[in-house]
Structure 1
Amino acid sequence: MQIELVQVAIVDGELAINLATVLEKISQRSAGTQLMVFPETVFSGFPDTDNVAVLAQAISGGMIAQVRAAARQYEVAVVLGFAEVSDRRFFNASVLIDAAGEIVLHHRKVHLWSSDIGIFSPGDCFTTAQWNGLQLGLLICFDIEFPESARALASLGAELIIVSDGLIHPHGVVHQRALAARSMENQVFSVLVNRCGPDSGGESFAGGSMVINPYGDIVLQADDGVSTLRAQLDFAAVQESRKEYCYLEQRQVKLVMEQVDTVNQHIRTQRIKKS
């Protein structure tokens, strides 16, 4: 399967500019590409308490609708992150849109980074979906630093984990290490796409978008500039990696503080409230 990792510079707060970039990249997809992956909060950059209500988009709203139309027109699936509004609450979210323009999977970031807190509400479940013959799961940025996030998706059968990222210099190596570990310990392919370039606050994003195979090896990795990487993934490698040993089957400790719903294919977190 051919995928494209679309590492872009985002103009904070400029919805029209960023949407135009996403639509242009989709229109330029290479022949044979089945999936394009974009960074975290790609429409808006990271909002703050003053502008989140203006920048956040409904999953049923016009910006997502335009991406769905582009996916359908160019016959390619798309994963992207965006600031979501739902019932007057805000979430750091991502979606998988298939080549027919349908929303197949929707994830809300469970583990909020310090700058997310007070702006976004946390998501409360990990979910997988069937797409193109694969079981696929989504994570966002800080989610990947917790082994339980990827293990939850792997427990639901994920063969591919896609991470929409927004990590700044000099911390890019953190997610390189985390993604390699998550891939190896769950014996899955992982794809991470980060943004690049400066933000409005003077930080610089680390880029470094990458593909990791089920053995924890880096298949390819971008530098810290604007780029589109193409990768061919052979998912026979997932089963091959599990031939001699399978961590999921051989583990003796199950996930704790979680409810597994095998009917609806999600794992819902149970938050511990301090008394």
Structure 2
Amino acid sequence: MKVELAQLAGRDNGTAYNLERTLAAIAACAADTQLIVFPETHLMGFPSAETVAQVAEPLDGPTVTAVLNAVRERNIAVVVGVAENDHGHFYNTTLLITPEGIALKYRKTHLWASDRGVFSAGDRYATCEWNGVRVGLLICYDIEFPETARALAQLGAELLIVTNGNMDPYGPTHRTAIMARAQENQAFALMVNRVEDGDGELLFAGGSALVDPFGSLVFEAGRDEGTFSVELDLNQLTAARRDYRYLDDQRLRLPGEVIEHADGLRELMIPAT
């Protein structure tokens, strides 16, 4: 599987600029690319409590629609982060968009300090089948909690995709976490981070990465902008799970209702606390 990691700078509250760069990256992708992954909230940047109502859009709004049209034109798939407005409720959301539409939607469940007061937390984990691989999505701070990736693994995930907006000095934290999440769930993990500064306040750490199901780092980007092509050898999924399977041997399973949808979407609801 050929994937491009679009490690880009973005502008907070800068939807027009961010969308232009997203569409340019899609248009410029290689002919054999199957998937392009962008950072956390890439299409809108990070809104504040004061700007989120103006910046966030519904998923059938003009910005996501423009990306969907570009995806259909190139016949590829895209994973991209948005600030979602669901009838006045705001979420830090990542989408898997295919030529058929939005295949998977995930709302960030673990809110970082700067998310609080801006976004509401999601209430479920989900996976879907895409190109013969079961995919699950996570966002930034989520990967510091082992339960998030394990929830996706319980739903059959073979590829964990993390949209990231991680800043200094926490780059090494996510490097360690993404390798651990892949190894302990025997799944591929892709992480794409933002770079450069966010309006002079934060310095985003880059370090976008691909980790194989053994937990080995296959590719790691530096701190500069770029679109990086990686290839996933899906045979490694079978190899990593051949001699033992953590999911088969674990003594404790995460609670929550599993919902199976007719289209292959699987959801694990987070129990109320």
* In structure 1, distance between residues paired with 2:45 and 2:66: 18
Report the CA distance shift for 1:66/1:101 in structure 2 as closer, same or farther (over 3 A): farther
* Residue of structure 1 equivalent to 2:271: 270
* Residue of structure 2 equivalent to 1:259: 257
1:9 maps to 2:29:
no
* Residue of structure 1 equivalent to 2:246: 247
* Residue of structure 2 equivalent to 1:53: 53
For the Cα contact (< 8 Å) 1:187–1:241, is it kept in 2? yes
Counterpart amino acid of 2:87?
A: D
Residues 109-131 of structure 1: CA distance to partner in whole angstroms, max 9, x if unpaired?
A: 01111111111000000000011
* In structure 2, distance between residues paired with 1:90 and 1:44: 13
* In structure 2, distance between residues paired with 1:262 and 1:148: 20
* In structure 1, distance between residues paired with 2:208 and 2:117: 28
Residues 216-260 of structure 1: CA distance to partner in whole angstroms, max 9, x if unpaired?
A: 11100110110111111011111110111110111111113x222
* Residue of structure 2 equivalent to 1:83: 83
* Residue of structure 1 equivalent to 2:138: 139
What SS is found at the alignment partner of 2:109? coil
Give the % identical residues.
42
What SS is found at the alignment partner of 1:122? coil
* TM superposition shift of 1:101: 4.6
* TM superposition shift of 1:193: 0.3
For the Cα contact (< 8 Å) 2:182–2:212, is it kept in 1? yes
Query: For the aligned residues, what is the CA RMSD?
Result: 1.0
For the Cα contact (< 8 Å) 2:43–2:80, is it kept in 1? no
What SS is found at the alignment partner of 1:33? coil
* Residue of structure 1 equivalent to 2:108: 109
For the Cα contact (< 8 Å) 1:71–1:101, is it kept in 2? no
Which consecutive aligned stretches of 4+ in structure 1 deviate over 4 angstroms post-superposition? none
The aligned runs of 1:1-275 (5 Å cut-off) are: 1-98=1-98, 100-256=99-255, 258-263=256-261, 265-272=266-273
* In structure 1, distance between residues paired with 2:210 and 2:157: 16
* In structure 1, distance between residues paired with 2:196 and 2:272: 36
* In structure 2, distance between residues paired with 1:246 and 1:204: 39
What SS is found at the alignment partner of 2:116? coil
Query: How many residues are treated as equivalent by the alignment?
Result: 270
Q: TM-score, normalised by structure 2?
A: 0.97
What SS is found at the alignment partner of 1:65? helix
Q: TM-score, normalised by structure 1?
A: 0.96
* TM superposition shift of 1:262: 4.0
Counterpart amino acid of 1:9?
A: A
Counterpart amino acid of 1:94?
A: T
* In structure 1, distance between residues paired with 2:199 and 2:16: 16
What SS is found at the alignment partner of 2:257? strand
Residues 106-155 of structure 1: CA distance to partner in whole angstroms, max 9, x if unpaired?
A: 00001111111111000000000011111101011111111111011111
For the Cα contact (< 8 Å) 2:184–2:246, is it kept in 1? yes
* In structure 2, distance between residues paired with 1:80 and 1:113: 19
* In structure 2, distance between residues paired with 1:218 and 1:201: 31
* TM superposition shift of 1:201: 4.1
For the Cα contact (< 8 Å) 1:69–1:101, is it kept in 2? no
What SS is found at the alignment partner of 2:236? helix
Gaps of 5+ in 1: none
Counterpart amino acid of 2:257?
A: Q
Gaps of 5+ in 2: none
* In structure 2, distance between residues paired with 1:255 and 1:14: 38
Counterpart amino acid of 1:228?
A: T
